Structure 1
Amino acid sequence: MTRTPQEIFESYVYAGALTRNADALAAAFTADGVFEAPLMPADASFPRRLVGRAEIRSAMAAYYERQAEGGRAPNIEKSGYVLHTTSDPDVFIAEVDTVFDGDEGDRVVSLVQIFRIRDGKIARLRDYFAPELMS
């Protein structure tokens, strides 16, 4: 059964940003899948490049553990996204505006993600966002 870009994207967001489930997040990738955040500096706490499910699982579990100490969940009702298909059926792009409620007003995190899919799983994900948002 072929999954649509929307199904792939929504399951990725649910596993990552919404539930912070590193096992489910890693399972969304192919065995040799690559997760990249190319704008992150090499010494950042958020991983810049992860290769394979085991590395994705362990690095993101560690990141989610650190984030749990003070991180807030996104406000789903205020957040939104637009998916763009491309001429390559295995590539789609997500424009995302994630809203976090705050004491001093909403904080909007805008990003672009490029997904390359193989057999209904993420083979490569490039996540472009401002690095200072992850500090």
Structure 2
Amino acid sequence: MSRTPQEIFENYVYSGSLTRNADALAETFTPDGVLEAPLLPAGGAFPRRLVGREEIRRAMAVYYEQLAKDGRAPNLEKTGYVLHTTTDPDVFIAEIDTVFDGDEEDVTISLVQIFRIRDGKIALLRDYFAPELVS
């Protein structure tokens, strides 16, 4: 039984953004999977391009360790997303508005992610968001 885009997306978000578990996140990808953030400059806090489960695991563990010092977590009651399927059954798009509680007002981070799936795992994820959000 193949997994739905909803299941794949929710597993990815839970493993990454919610629990910051680099091992679990890496397992959402195919062994040769690619995680890209094309709008980011190379050498930033968030990796621009990671190839393969092991590179994803290592780099995201370092990134999550840096995030732990920040202490910010998304407000799940205010955060929302919409998934869009495409004519290609192996591609779907997520539109996400992640909301963080702010001191004076909430901070909303809007992003788009394009997923290419193979055998129920992420073969390619392109994550489009503003570079200043991870500096």
- TM-score of Structure 1 vs Structure 2, range by shorter chain: over 0.9
Aligned residue in 1 for 2:89: 89
Q: Show structure 2 runs of 5+ residues with no match.
A: none
1:104 Cα deviation after fit: 1.9
Q: Which amino acid aligns with 1:13?
A: V
Aligned length: 135
Work out the CA distance in 1 between the residues paired with 2:24 and 2:60. 11
1:105 Cα deviation after fit: 1.1
Aligned residue in 2 for 1:48: 48
Q: Which stretches of structure 1, 4 residues or longer, exceed 4 Å deviation after superposition?
A: none
Write out aligned runs for 1:27-106 (5 A). Answer: 27-106=27-106
Secondary structure of 1:20's counterpart equals coil
Asked if 1:117 is matched to 2:117, the reply is yes
Work out the CA distance in 1 between the residues paired with 2:63 and 2:71. 11
Deviates more, 1:38-47 or 1:124-133: 38-47
Work out the CA distance in 1 between the residues paired with 2:128 and 2:74. 18
Secondary structure of 2:70's counterpart equals coil
Q: How does the TM-score come out when normalised to structure 1?
A: 0.98
Work out the CA distance in 2 between the residues paired with 1:44 and 1:78. 28
Deviates more, 1:77-86 or 1:65-74: 65-74
